[in-house]
Copies of this chain bind each other. A is one copy, B any other.
Amino acid sequence: MSQYRTFTAQDAVEYAKQFGGLDNPSSLVEAQEIGDGNLNLVFKIFDAQGVSRIIVKQALPYVRCVGESWPLTLDRARLEAQTLVEHYQHSPQHTVKIHHYDPELAVMVMEDLSSHKIWRGELISGVYYPQASRQLGEYLAHTLFHTSDFYLHPHAKKAQVAKYINPEMCEITEDLFFNDPYQIHERNNYPAELEADVAALRSDDQLKIAVASLKHRFFSQAEALLHGDIHSGSIFVAEDSLKAIDAEFGYYGPIGFDIGTAIGNLLLNFCGLPGHLGIRDAAAAREQRLTDIQELWNTFSERFQALATEKTRDAALSVPGYASQFLKKVWTDAIGFCGTELIRRSVGLSHVADIDTIKDDAMRHECLRHAITLGKALIVIADRIDSAEALVARVRQYS
């Protein structure tokens, strides 16, 4: 059992030599800390030719941006590594490979993805990856189906639920998604110009009842091992490749949460595009996002349905027609969770670069307002939007 200590660059190099699974570990010579988050150290480990070969990631026991004053469980490193290892089993093409992890050191050694770029940045720059949304749909279908009651033996499923209980990271989601934006809270973060829009959220009882129902589903519906934070900043893309990373929010929850988070971030990009691109380019990129959303859902639901038909092991759940009925429930959940993502990224603590990096204040505020309006509508009318095409029609209506 190792004792936790914060890694230096040299520690990271030594650790990578030992646990990186490389043919020539002695070629590793130096490390560069590239973490731009504030929760983890992330070291790129280079060989003598200056080629980045492998990543060492270590969880910090506190939130770095506020010094050591906000402690955060190191157990999230175990949860992240185990979630990624589990997801890799079911979707090796689209999950970052974990070579090794140590729960005591809260450290993992993983595949270097220098050949890839973070999807969010590409989406903001207007670089289109036409395969990405389908690949994300495949990732979600494979990981969520194979960790669900359709596929797992009931004993194995229950053991998995216990293994992935993740109170501290879930609490962050519970607070940031479902509480803060609908009340006055010091963590909220929005320009004064939006005060009326945000105040309207706080006084909208119908909306708050729908949000309560979504939070209750997040609390109680253990449908599959979620990634838990599958936004476009947790996804690496390259030409014809997509890899999910950063799964420290992994837990057993409602499948619609992952779908809704993914779609929500495509819609946040949709909302922000006019702030980054010229009118014509923004319009074209927006159409790409709407296509992405349809392809994401349609790929996910078709693959999930196909897996259910082929591989469901539960006698009752295998009845023809049940998987497609369940997918309707997943879709309704997804629309609602998507709405909460739009709102919490506009009003709450943690924003997205798709909107926050827009320099023009008026434009940025307009994009934020757009996201809030759209999010609110989706939460309230979730059960009246019955397909990805209907969602796209609603998005056009609110644009």
Q: CB within 8 Å of B: which residues of A?
A: 149, 154-155, 157-159, 161-162, 165-168, 170-171, 174, 178-179, 182-183, 205, 208-209, 211-213, 215-216, 219-223, 314-322, 325-326
Which of A161, A174, A212 has the most chain B CB atoms inside 10 A of its CB? A212
CA A192 to CA B376, docked complex, whole Å: 57
Could you tell me if B182 and A155 are in contact, using CB atoms closer than 8 angstroms? Answer: no
Q: A154-B171, A216-B326 are in contact. Are A179 and B221 (CB under 8 A)?
A: no
Could you tell me if B179 and A154 are in contact, using CB atoms closer than 8 angstroms? Answer: no
Could you tell me if B182 and A316 are in contact, using CB atoms closer than 8 angstroms? Answer: yes
Could you tell me if A212 and B158 are in contact, using CB atoms closer than 8 angstroms? Answer: no
Could you tell me if A171 and B149 are in contact, using CB atoms closer than 8 angstroms? Answer: no
Could you tell me if A165 and B162 are in contact, using CB atoms closer than 8 angstroms? Answer: yes
- The copy count of this chain in the complex is 2
CA A304 to CA B157, docked complex, whole Å: 30
Question: Of all chain B residues, which has the CB nearest A206?
Answer: B321
User: A318 to chain B: which residues have CB within 8 Å?
Assistant: 212
User: A319 to chain B: which residues have CB within 8 Å?
Assistant: 205, 208-209, 211-212
User: A165 to chain B: which residues have CB within 8 Å?
Assistant: 158-159, 161-162
Could you tell me if B220 and A149 are in contact, using CB atoms closer than 8 angstroms? Answer: yes
Top 10 closest A-B pairs, CB basis? A212-B322, A208-B319, A155-B167, A149-B219, A215-B316, A162-B162, A178-B316, A212-B316, A209-B321, A158-B167
- Minimum distance in angstroms from A365 CB to a CB of chain B: 27
Could you tell me if B170 and A154 are in contact, using CB atoms closer than 8 angstroms? Answer: yes
Question: Of all chain B residues, which has the CB nearest A150?
Answer: B216
Could you tell me if B213 and A325 are in contact, using CB atoms closer than 8 angstroms? Answer: yes
CA A167 to CA B183, docked complex, whole Å: 40
Which of A155, A205, A220, A316 has the most chain B CB atoms inside 10 A of its CB? A316
Could you tell me if B223 and A220 are in contact, using CB atoms closer than 8 angstroms? Answer: yes
Could you tell me if A316 and B211 are in contact, using CB atoms closer than 8 angstroms? Answer: yes
- Minimum distance in angstroms from A151 CB to a CB of chain B: 12
Question: Of all chain B residues, which has the CB nearest A325?
Answer: B209
CA A171 to CA B161, docked complex, whole Å: 16
